[in-house]
Amino acid sequence: MTLIAAGTMVLDDQVCKPGWLATSAGRIIECGPGPAPRPPDHDFAEHVVVPGFVDMHVHGGGGASYTDGIRSEIELAAEFHRRHGTTTTVASLVTASPDDLLRQVRVLAEMTRQKTVAGAHLEGPWLSAARCGAHDSALLRNPDPAEIDALLTAADGTIRMVTLAPELPGSRDAITRVANADVVVAIGHTDASYDEAKHAIELGATVGTHVFNAMRPLHHRDPGPALALLEDPRVTVELIADGVHVHPALVRQVIEMVGPDRVALITDAMAAAGLPDGSFRIGAREVEVTERIARVRGTSTIAGSTATMDQLFRTTVGQLGGSDEALAKAARMTATTPARALNLVRVGSLRVGMDANCVVLDEDLHVHRVMLNGAWLPHS
């Protein structure tokens, strides 16, 4: 058994000053507010302990990518994000040919069984050409029942989420088919109207993929999908709160409007995360990173991010005022809410019975230590 004490600890959405938890066999077996009941094995008196981050939408990092279906790259990207506190990663793929996508899904299924990642997210190929962002428009296609069934079979339960554009022909059947397979359906990269988005939610869509980005914008006579996603209490909305994709004032307004229980902060990071500016790829697209902003080469189109979850956590706490309430909200949006949105029942909060995944942050909210399933990761 390992006993951890901290000057500040977020236990089950509550900020405890101090707090403590005990782990055994990779699980949390005891926890509580106040001083530890016995001498701790690790005393982080000047630190903050929060739940391990859950990134439900990320394409790579540290120079490696999830999108090519290469095992060594998947391991490197996951390890990079673990060092930044992401103890649960759902690896996002991008639009690819049917054969390539099937191969990538099979590899990620294997890596999920090995617990390198917690599953796959299919962002594409069933997206709008008008809102495709960094996806290769030549490979976009309408949802096809045979392809959907083949991918679900190959994944063998490891696909966690599928993002699609609900206005496409065949999307209604696709939403039902995917949801009936216990896979989360997300609305994104879409030119859908407000009514089309609402209908998709009625059919079973429960997530808005990086809301505002790569979707028809809000207009007072044509509110589009963003408003439909924001106003429905059944929907969790992803936000890329990196200061590039969404203005900080709008991030604050969304959090105020829908609450942290419905906002999942995501990195949408690509391979360039953690590296200097330069040339990279996401899927088949060439990407140029300048001043930490990734764009499709030769265009102004943003191509994912270079952010990490600890960066988003730190920035969000500051934007929300730096209070204990801000700390609790940030912990929910970087761990609890995304875990719940994807039905990941053993991660996302620090309470008895959960996996012992936590991040120890210093007084400036930079990562000091990371615990994964009760074991400390090596210092970086």
Residue 326 annotated as binding?
no
d(CA 153, CA 1): 40
Q: Which of 341, 303, 332, 321 is nearest to 90 (CA)?
A: 341
Q: Which of 48, 41, 29 is nearest to 366 (CA)?
A: 48
Residue 134 annotated as binding?
yes
Tokens found for residue 52: 């391990």
Is 277 assigned a catalytic role?
Answer: no
DSSP label at residue 204: T
- What is 98-157 written as a DSSP string? HHHHHHHHHHHHHHHHTTSSS-EEEE-SS--GGG-TTS-GGG-----HHHHHHHHHHHTT
d(CA 337, CA 11): 15
Task: Evaluate the omega torsion of the peptide bond into residue 18 and state whether it is cis, within 30 degrees of 0.
Answer: yes
Instruction: Identify whether the C-beta of residue 59 lies closer than 8 Å to the C-beta of residue 209.
Output: no
User: Angle between the 224-231 and 248-258 helix axes, to the nearest 10 degrees?
Assistant: 40
Residue from 68, 136, 232, 268 carrying the catalytic annotation = 268
Instruction: For residue 33, give the H/E element and its range.
Output: strand 27-33
Residue 210 annotated as binding?
yes
Residue 213 annotated as binding?
yes
Residue 196, helix vs strand vs coil: helix
d(CA 253, CA 258): 9
What is the identity of the amino acid at 175? I
Residue 123 annotated as binding?
yes
Residue 356 annotated as binding?
no
Residue 214 annotated as binding?
yes
Instruction: Identify whether the C-beta of residue 76 lies closer than 8 Å to the C-beta of residue 91.
Output: no
d(CA 244, CA 333): 18
Residue 129 annotated as binding?
no
Residue 57 annotated as binding?
no
Q: Which residue shows structure tokens 């001498």?
A: 39
Spatial neighbors of 123 by CB under 8 A, at least 6 apart, are 57, 92, 93, 94, 95, 135, 163, 188, 189, 209
**β-strand partners of 238:** 264
Residue 302 annotated as binding?
yes
Spatial neighbors of 231 by CB under 8 A, at least 6 apart, are none
d(CA 146, CA 76): 33
Binding-site residues for substrate: 134, 213-214, 221, 245, 302-304
Binding-site residues: 123, 134, 189, 210, 213-214, 221, 245, 302-304
Binding-site residues for Zn(2+): 123, 189, 210
Q: Which residues are catalytic?
A: 268
